Structure 1
Amino acid sequence: MIEFIDIRKIYHQGEHKIVALDGVNLHVKAGEIFGVLGQSGAGKSTLIRCVNQLEKPSSGYVRVNGQEITSLSGVALRQARQRIGMIFQHFNLLSCRTVAENIAFPLEVIGYSKLRRKAKVEELLALVGLEGKANAYPAQLSGGQKQRVGIARALAGEPNVLLSDEATSALDPQTTRSILELLRDLNQRMGLTILLITHEMGVVKQICDSVAILHAGKVVEQGSVSDLASQPDSLLAREFFPRSHNYIPRPGTVLATVAFANESARNSIFTTLTRRFDIDVNILNGSVETVGDRRVGQFQVELAGIKVTQALEYLHNSEYAVEVH
């Protein structure tokens, strides 16, 4: 649904140049929620704004649903943008307009009749759970309600792509969860492809199907969230499951990280190792997390006993991911 092909974006400040994006290649499948994770300055906002050409890449191409967006201008670009909704961190609502009027604004631009606008606004208010708020003004709404208005407005043109620019970072944790649940519901009910940027690991963990980690304008890791989370050496797994780096193994022991997903997460693997191989298992840290609809676990353990090597081979052959330190 969305393709970034060798995207570079360079800003010039006097004699200096800032490389915001440096050869980014990403493929977002139709119907998935794709997260772009990174710290401030990584290039996330620049990347997402290249999709609807709020930012023009210095080089490279962006395709949306097979159409090369980077080559469009004028009427053709405006028509393409109607199929790409966008929600923002600070809502960007018109304070002098009511909730209904904010949602109706893009419909006015498209050219809907007054009667058709009214019916569409009522439909969208119900979709985002804001029945009864049509005549309220933004100043009368909570942060979560403002973002729901922003989502309804973004869906007014019936897009097949929704861009989320740090849409939950200004909200409290409980409101963030409710907005993410709404986005997941819209994704599943409407087949909506969602590309979101965030610096919050919890957002990726709760709703993203796939993720790309951006650092200094480069993609340093990408893939399925659950697959990356179940790989001990992935950057995402290290964020999900922080390790103890100061622990010094006892003489004669082996320090290892064991990761697993789905059915493996339901098994008492360390009890099995102790009974089958007569080894000691000292769990240093770790947990089992729900990532999307999968259970993913990772533990850092210290193993001791004569049959540690056989135990590690058993883990490898049983589809556990193991990293020996």
Structure 2
Amino acid sequence: MALDTVSFNVPQGEIFGVLGQSGAGKSTLIRCINLLERPTSGSIHIKEQEITALKGLALRKERQRIGMIFQHFNLLNSRTVADNVAFPLEVMGYSRSARQARVGELLELVGLDGRARAYPAQLSGGQKQRVGIARALAAKPDVLLSDEATSALDPQTTLSILELLRDLNRTMGLTILLITHQMDVVKQICHQVAILEAGKLIEQGRVSALAAQPDSRLAQTLFPHPESYRPRAGATVVTISFTGDATDEPILSNLIRNFDINVNILSGNIENFGDLRLGQLQVELVGGQIEAAIDYLKKLGLRVEVNR
């Protein structure tokens, strides 16, 4: 799958998700970012360095700044956990004592300090991915690339791996570019997201901001509205987006009581985005003081979209 004018910036210290279904171009994108495939046009920058301008030894050295974790772990089955984590350090010429010290730090960091002598066949899927994460961090990279790193795991294990990545981001300031087809992954840990379809970037921005925009692709996926519904004569259809403490407010009962309005709920949902709660309601308003009710909602700080 070719990429067509894909451009985005991953802020340092954030988790940036690239969301797309099979065939969207996600694998091509991540292979271009680490230059396993060289793009035919455009450029890729890591901090101040344009890595598309590098070749040979200079490129190999720059790749050491990019850690990578994979869907199917890519561990060496004949090596122990410790030796798998140490492998990139061997390639870089670290001494045996330096490798041992760094491996010990990393296994403790990912919660595997008691499994150093185990082999991959003796590990669960989640443990294998923790080994993969430790290996990816061995050379202290500036950026961690995650290529569908949780799609082969069960939901509970997925959650534990995402929590680990979020902790690494928070404690180390690690920049993470995360490729996924799973909306739940984006909801759990991503600060920003770009949506990829057929090689094109169709939407990007902060997850919370896109989710709060009723007309965004992200919001339409998270909060689907009934397609067959037609408003009754004289009714006003309103989409209300709300965050934080507003998700617990009795908004609809206040409208009914204070503005003499009949309210018909068409659709609604509340989603969690990391530590942020965000909800959306689509309601039909009939009779009473509709304009005053809409002004009231806006003064509460809610986002209101009116479809008459």
TM-score band, normalised by shorter chain: over 0.9
Query: Which string of whole-angstrom CA distances, capped at 9 and with x for unpartnered residues, describes residues 134-183 of structure 1?
Result: 11111111111110000000000001210000000011111000000000
Query: Which string of whole-angstrom CA distances, capped at 9 and with x for unpartnered residues, describes residues 50-94 of structure 1?
Result: 221111111000000111010111111111111110000010111
Q: What is the deviation of 1:317?
A: 4.0
Aligned to 2:154: 172
Distance between the aligned counterparts of 1:302 and 1:155, measured in 2? 52
Aligned to 1:287: 269
Q: What is the root-mean-square deviation of aligned Cα atoms in Å?
A: 1.3
Distance between the aligned counterparts of 2:210 and 2:96, measured in 1? 49
1:125 aligns with 2:112: no
TM-score if structure 2 supplies the norm length?
0.96
Distance between the aligned counterparts of 1:306 and 1:148, measured in 2? 58
Unaligned runs of 5+ in 2: none
Aligned to 1:227: 209
Aligned to 1:237: 219
Aligned to 1:52: 34
Aligned to 1:6: none
Aligned to 2:193: 211
Distance between the aligned counterparts of 1:215 and 1:312, measured in 2? 36
Which of 230, 239, 244 is 1:248 aligned to? 230
Aligned to 1:198: 180
Aligned residues: 307
Unaligned runs of 5+ in 1: 1-17
Distance between the aligned counterparts of 1:256 and 1:236, measured in 2? 19
Aligned to 1:147: 129
1:183 aligns with 2:165: yes
Q: What is the deviation of 1:29?
A: 0.2
Code of the residue aligned with 1:40 in structure 2: it is S
SS in 2 for 1:287: strand
SS in 1 for 2:254: helix
Any residues of structure 2 matched to 1:1-325 within 5 Å, and which?
Answer: 20-325=2-307
CA contact (8 A) 1:212 1:219 kept: yes
Q: What is the deviation of 1:304?
A: 1.2
CA contact (8 A) 1:51 1:64 kept: no
Query: Which string of whole-angstrom CA distances, capped at 9 and with x for unpartnered residues, describes residues 225-272 of structure 1?
Result: 011111111110111112211223333322221111234333222222
Distance between the aligned counterparts of 1:98 and 1:198, measured in 2? 29
Code of the residue aligned with 1:186 in structure 2: it is L
TM-score if structure 1 supplies the norm length?
0.91
Code of the residue aligned with 2:147 in structure 1: it is D
Distance between the aligned counterparts of 1:317 and 1:74, measured in 2? 59
Q: Which has the higher contact order (CA 8 A, sep 6+)?
A: 2
Query: Which string of whole-angstrom CA distances, capped at 9 and with x for unpartnered residues, describes residues 30-58 of structure 1?
Result: 00000000111111111122221111111
Distance between the aligned counterparts of 2:77 and 2:225, measured in 1? 47
Distance between the aligned counterparts of 2:258 and 2:209, measured in 1? 28
Q: What is the deviation of 1:293?
A: 2.1
Deviates more, 1:59-68 or 1:289-298: 289-298
Whose strand fraction is larger, Structure 1's or Structure 2's?
A: 1
CA contact (8 A) 1:143 1:171 kept: yes
